[in-house]
Structure 1
Amino acid sequence: MKLKTLSYLFIPLLLLLASCDLEKDIEVNLPEYEPQLVVECYLQPGKPFRLTLMESSGYFETPQPALVSDADVYITHNGRRIKLSYKPMLSKTSNLFHTHSSTEKMQGKPGDIFGLEITDKKGRKVTGFTTILPAVPIDTIEWKFNEKNKAYLLTTFQDNAATKDFYRYVTHRDSLHTDPERAFVTSDNLTNGKRTSFGSAYDYERGDTLLITLYHIEKQYYDFLSSTADAKNANGNPFAQPSSIKSSVQGGIGIFTNLAYDRRKVIIE
């Protein structure tokens, strides 16, 4: 009887709340967005200097690439300033789009420091530095089949106990121009100085051709990749914490780093 009496008391209250308009429009005055220079540049020994330079846009603006054609772009090394010319192109080898490039090829050894200098007609300036890392060789690549004739992959390498290291591990099927089947970044926090293995699920069949790449990356690139992944996950998710991009450049947004890697091609048999 008590439960029935309480329900009668709450019914009028619920009807009252239902009749109320609980929606209210609120205007939020957002500050005017100031576009920034966005840079993406990866140095590789023996490869031409190439860079992508664009301008950022506001969150509510129509997404479209805003190229910056009036900027002066230089790579610095050992007192030299190497000018990159504005020549938008799609690389046939990497399938990446570049806005600035040089015919000169990057020559550097582990420990060398390269700098980046960008200025444009609006007075904006972007700078950055990267230290060339040695490649970490892949020791072994193994696979094993289960009872369903599906194979898992195991890639093993030796971590250097004398240094703090960061890695990016990527697996492609058939071609580097396809989206990677697996890609992640990690550190040697738990594996410093140890033989380390990266595995997979039972995803492969006999005859599959795989390209396995182990990148030895700078901490600034590790932070950049981790933050961009967090930002993508948070975008459009009302329950996620906002995440900002951890850039390696000053005066803009983006990454300036070098790619040191070992790559193997295997056919599952």
Structure 2
Amino acid sequence: MKNSSFLLLFFAALLVLIHTGCNEDSFSQVVEIDIPQHQPLTVLNGHFSTSDKTFSLLVSSSRGILDTAAFGLPKNAAVTLLKDGVPVTDFSWKEESFKYASTSFTGFGQTGALYRLEVSVPGMPPAYAEQTMPAPVEIQRAEVKPDGAISADGDRVDGLTVDIKDPAGVENYYAVQLLVRDTVVSPPDTFAYEYRVFLDTNDPLVSYAENQLLIFSDASFEGKTASLNFYSYDQLDRQKMVLRLYALTREGYLYLRSKEDYENANGNPFAEPVTVFSNVEGGYGIFMISAATEKIINP
């Protein structure tokens, strides 16, 4: 009798465990997290190059992680660019682009000059960022090889070989961009046009970046002449093109690299989160400058 009672109690307890164990709440736990209050700060995004005729800068404001409001685009910010401590140009709001803009000025691009961007948005702390202009690097050779390359998918495509002489004794960072640049004559008018060509590479040391840039450092060829190989599905030998080489700052390179990594990881549940590099004091974002050189291909 005792054994029967014990068995009944055992099976009853087992049924209770099975019932409660199959409950969803048994496999989850609710943890309340106190989200710290967010103080909005100025956000900047600007890349000024010696190849630019106009400088444009996006000015925005940061949001908290739970904030559902739209990003603010202040129209009354004070934006000034200084060179070696001396103001050289102010920026004004442009309604058509939702950015601040200024025309280029004489002397921009002086190697070694310190450029400081200062932005003051009413109601937020002032923000600034500094960059030292790198030296431009000459493109020694840019040669198109029709059907001279194999793509990552095994297709026969046009190749482009680029030679550059890397300055010794300093870390250098680069970006390459290929442009089609030509004119169309329709008397009495002549129209000039330019657009970017997508370049690819099989080089594992070269990374993709925004605006169809390919970026890399001189870590593998410091102080030497580097021969870089690219390819494109476009017919490179049938167009008037310009190869542009940007000498980047370290901060600019880190921003472009981290932003591409962020875009690749975004929405991937198996990827590690990526923080986009920022060099703005008193805010977030990027202010980067570059020295550009060009070489005409198929004149």
TM-score, normalization: structure 1?
0.77
Cα-to-partner distance string for 1:57-93 (whole Å, 9 max, x where unaligned): 3456558552112322221224422452432255xxx
Query: Which of the numbers 268, 277, 298 marks the counterpart of 1:237?
Result: 268
- Sort the Cα spacing of 1:237 and 1:260 in 2 relative to 1 into closer, same or farther, 3 A: same
Per the alignment, residue 139 of structure 1 pairs with 140
- Sort the Cα spacing of 1:227 and 1:146 in 2 relative to 1 into closer, same or farther, 3 A: closer
Per the alignment, residue 99 of structure 1 pairs with 99
Q: 1:133–1:216: 8 Å Cα contact kept in structure 2?
A: yes
Instruction: Quote the sequence identity (%).
Output: 22
Unpaired segments ≥5 residues, structure 2: 1-17, 149-154, 182-192, 201-212
Per the alignment, residue 171 of structure 2 pairs with 164
- Sort the Cα spacing of 1:20 and 1:130 in 2 relative to 1 into closer, same or farther, 3 A: same
Paired residue type of 2:47: Y
Q: 1:171–1:212: 8 Å Cα contact kept in structure 2?
A: yes
Out of 257-266 and 174-183, give the one that drifted further. Answer: 174-183
Per the alignment, residue 116 of structure 1 pairs with 117
SS in 2 for 1:67: coil
CA distance in 2, matches of 1:61, 1:222: 30
- Match runs of 1:28-177 below 5 Å: 28-29=32-33, 30-45=35-50, 47-58=53-64, 64-82=70-88, 84-89=90-95, 97=97, 99-103=99-103, 105-108=105-108, 109-146=110-147, 150-172=157-179, 176-177=194-195
Q: 1:211–1:266: 8 Å Cα contact kept in structure 2?
A: yes
Q: 1:75–1:81: 8 Å Cα contact kept in structure 2?
A: yes
1:257 correspondence with 2:258: no
Query: Which of the numbers 182, 186, 206 marks the counterpart of 2:216?
Result: 186
Out of 78-87 and 154-163, give the one that drifted further. Answer: 78-87
SS in 2 for 1:141: strand
CA distance in 1, matches of 2:172, 2:274: 24
Paired residue type of 2:173: F
Paired residue type of 1:238: P
- Sort the Cα spacing of 1:265 and 1:57 in 2 relative to 1 into closer, same or farther, 3 A: farther
1:218 correspondence with 2:249: yes
CA distance in 2, matches of 1:23, 1:33: 33
CA distance in 1, matches of 2:23, 2:124: 54
- Sort the Cα spacing of 1:101 and 1:24 in 2 relative to 1 into closer, same or farther, 3 A: same
TM-score, normalization: structure 2?
0.70
- Sort the Cα spacing of 1:230 and 1:58 in 2 relative to 1 into closer, same or farther, 3 A: farther
CA distance in 2, matches of 1:223, 1:134: 18
CA distance in 2, matches of 1:52, 1:99: 5
CA distance in 1, matches of 2:172, 2:21: 59
Paired residue type of 2:100: H
CA distance in 2, matches of 1:145, 1:218: 33
Q: 1:247–1:255: 8 Å Cα contact kept in structure 2?
A: yes
Q: 1:49–1:106: 8 Å Cα contact kept in structure 2?
A: no
Unpaired segments ≥5 residues, structure 1: 1-14, 91-96
- Sort the Cα spacing of 1:27 and 1:132 in 2 relative to 1 into closer, same or farther, 3 A: same
CA RMSD of superposed structures (Å): 3.3
CA distance in 1, matches of 2:124, 2:40: 13
Out of 184-193 and 76-85, give the one that drifted further. Answer: 76-85
Q: 1:39–1:52: 8 Å Cα contact kept in structure 2?
A: yes
Out of 210-219 and 167-176, give the one that drifted further. Answer: 167-176
